[in-house]
Amino acid sequence: MCEKYFPTLIDKVSSLYLSEKEDSLKLFNQLNAHGFAIDQFIQLKSLSLSYLSEEQIMDQIMFALPHFINITHLTLQHCSLPQSPGSVSEEQINARPFINCIWSLPKLTHCCFINTFVCKFSSAIFTEPTVISSSITHLFLFGVHDDALCLDRICETTPKLQHFSESSPDLNTSEIPRFPLLSMTSLELSCTGCGSTLLHILQWIPNLYRLKLKDIPYINGHEWESCISNHLPKLKIFNFQMEGRFSRNETIDVQVDDMLNKFRTQFWLDEHGWFIACYYEPTNRSFYLCTLPYVFDTFQMRYPLLYKSTCSNENNDQSFDTVRHLIYDVQSMNACSSSNIRFYKLETLEIKVAL
């Protein structure tokens, strides 16, 4: 069938998905056996690679990339990039030709790396390109990091970058840009580290229109107001999820009210209509604050979970339609109680019970 029908179809395929976990890789091998190379998919617009670790296959894909002149979307998920034995830094250098091939694609606009490794047994380290992309506008780095990674260097090789998403283990001062990042209008970060470092980074992205932050350290409402008013005049869509722990010097209720009062100013309620909720657990003195309505796909509940918010609309306050994964942490099944929080579109429920 491959020999009979595929020659008439190969230049009409616009989307291709390959994975070692799916039957799609069998098709890849069958095509090779019948003399059809992957670089013949010249009309590809979307390519997704998932759980590919065989060096021979990744090498074939790397050599085929320059032929994909029409590709606009590329996703690499849990893949091992081509590399030679050596130290982590050497492996990054050996993986760079693959990254440079990606950055050289003339029509590529969306590029996503999810836990894509430069070697099989280390953390997923992003290898920075040394060529300039003329087309990439959206870049996503999830589970991929580099202690030396800096936004301004990414923007130097991706000058048309408008949206950047990254999950970083820790923010540090080396990530503070050296110059304003004027092309970027949308930013998503999931990170730990110092709140002041995050605010300093944001000061260098003055054209941000959309900002989404997850699992970041606590930054109070007055600090946010100052940063946005002075440095982010175009920001319209702002969502965050911040975590922290209560001090033992004051009662928890007093601290919750003090935190929320900093988000009850004219700036938050009248100028922008941004409302904040504080979910807190008195037993372990932890809390997290989030914007309303809730926009993240994961929510963690620990019993007993209490909350207060700056929103007077109870229905808006308890909207969790975006949550797909719920983590419910209880001391015992007997400790469970009813809640007015509803998760209508839940896909995964994870229950943790202390033994």
Mean per-residue pLDDT of the chain: 83
User: What is d(CA 24, CA 217) in angstroms, rounded to the nearest whole number?
Assistant: 42
- Residue 120's pLDDT is 44
DSSP string for 90-121: HHHHHHHHHHHHHHT-TT--EEEEES-BSSTT
**pTM as predicted:** 0.84
* Alpha-carbon span 261 to 255, nearest angstrom: 10
Q: Where are the domains of the chain?
A: 2-254, 255-355
DSSP strand pairing (306-309 vs 275-281) = antiparallel
Alpha helices in the chain (DSSP H): 2-9, 24-33, 55-64, 88-103, 151-157, 195-202, 221-231, 252-261, 266, 314-317
Q: How far apart (Å, rounded) are the C-alpha atoms in residues 246 and 90?
A: 44
Q: How many helices (H) and strands (E) does the chain have?
A: 10, 15
Under 8 Å between Cβ of 252 and 246: yes
Other Cβ atoms less than 10 A from the Cβ of 124: the count is: 21
* pLDDT at position 121: 44
- Of 44, 89, 36, 50, whose CA–CA distance to 66 is shortest? 44
8 A C-beta contact, residue 208 and residue 187: yes
Count how many Cα atoms sit within 13 Å of the Cα of residue 246 in the half-sphere of its side chain: 22
Range with the poorest average pLDDT among 49-53, 268-272, 295-299: 49-53
Distance, in Å, from the CA atom of 233 to the CA atom of 349, rounded to the nearest integer, reads 40
Band (306; pLDDT cuts 50, 70, 90): confident
Cα(70)–Cα(107) distance, rounded to whole angstroms? 6
Residue 261 identity: N
2-254 CATH:
3.80.10
What are the tokens at 280? 């807190």
C-alpha torsion angle, residues 4, 9, 10, 14 (rounded to 10): -160
pLDDT digits 0-9 by tens, 225-240: 999 999 999 999 999 9
In tens, the pLDDT along 228-271 reads 999 999 999 999 999 889 988 889 999 999 999 999 999 999 99
Lowest-confidence region among 123-137, 288-302, 313-327: 313-327
Written as one string, the DSSP assignment of 240-276 is EEEEEE--SSS-HHHHHHHHHHTT-SHIIIIII--EE
pLDDT (tens digit per residue) in 87-145: 444 445 567 888 899 999 999 999 998 887 655 445 556 778 899 999 999 999 887 66
* pLDDT (0 to 100) of residue 11: 76
Place of tokens 């990042």: 181
Residues of the chain with pLDDT > 90, as a percent, come to 37
Q: How confident is residue 344, by pLDDT bands cut at 50, 70 and 90?
A: confident
Cβ pair 48, 18 in contact under 8 A: yes
pLDDT tens across 195-220, in order?
Answer: 888 899 999 999 999 999 998 989 99
Distance in angstroms (rounded) separating the CA atoms of residues 218 and 241:
9
**What percentage of the chain has pLDDT greater than the value 70?**
78
If one compares 89 and 31, the residue with the highest pLDDT of the two is: 31
- 3-state DSSP of 124-151: CECCCCCCCCCCCCEEEEECCECCCCCH
Max alpha carbon distance in the chain (Å)? 78
Question: Tokens 């930054």 correspond to what residue?
Answer: 219
Which residue in 188, 132, 183, 139 sits closest to 158, CA to CA? 132
